[in-house]
Structure 1
Amino acid sequence: MLNFVTRQRRVERLWLIALVFATVMVLVLSLCAGDVWFSPLSWWNDEARLFIWQIRLPRTLAVLLVGAALAVTGTIMQSLFENPLAEPGLLGVSNGAGVALVIALLLGQGTLPGWTLGLCAILGALTITLILLRFSPSSISPPVVYYFAGVALRNYL
């Protein structure tokens, strides 16, 4: 039994190392690729410095962080509802974020800074979450109640 556990941990460790390596390789590829290709050796040239360090790297890091946040959110939803197919859009949370974002764009007429739009989306998602929690029968409701409330809110929005 101990041999099986040791072997399983070794396999999991190898998978983790392979995935981290693949992530680093994709990160390097995303910094190189674009309208103009910059090899990793030319990243510190005057011509490439602006594109790599000021434009491509912040975008790439933002994409990595958003992807990680979506993965964590999906995992939380799956464990909360004990359903491997659950996702953040199930309860209408992502629709609430989208509606708040559209309202902010319309009211701000395109003059709001980017961080304000992100904040409005977060507030919209939190508002939908609080509405769901407010209309649940009790604090210890079965997941099915949240499913139905989320589907109703998603269809309403």
Structure 2
Amino acid sequence: MGNEVSIEALLHEVMVEHGVKLTKNDPVLIVHTLNKRLIESQKALQESLLNELKSNLEVLTTDWSEEAKSVAENIINSSLKASTATITQAIETSTEENKKLLKEAIEESVINIKDEISGKIKETKTVSVANIFASILTTVSALIVAYAAIF
């Protein structure tokens, strides 16, 4: 019945616009029926194609998303490797500089200690020579006193 209403509406529209009165049995209505079927058929086909396109777009979007994620991970990993290399280089450089400074400080301390020990050895030699001289004087004095006591 819905089809009848649309045909009645079509017949009325043709009458109003073109001034031609058509009947329900007019052969020109065959074109209307054929057009209607073609439109329905094309509508179903286009919906199918649209759904297929939608599905393809979803797959492409998923693929693009995964690819973008992979690229982002690669960028992050590359950045991390570069940062690690930079930090490692900085640590190695700092370590070498600290080793050099520590070596210089130790060498300077050793030189200072050597100088101090040399000074103490000189003092000890001087005291030792003085003690030896005092011992010799004491021994000579004791020999003189002994000689004088004997003779």
TM-score w.r.t. length of structure 2: 0.24
Q: Greater share of helix residues, 1 or 2?
A: 2
Task: Please tell me whether Structure 1 or Structure 2 has the larger radius of gyration of its CA atoms.
Answer: 2
* Bigger relative contact order (CA 8 A; separation at least 6): 1
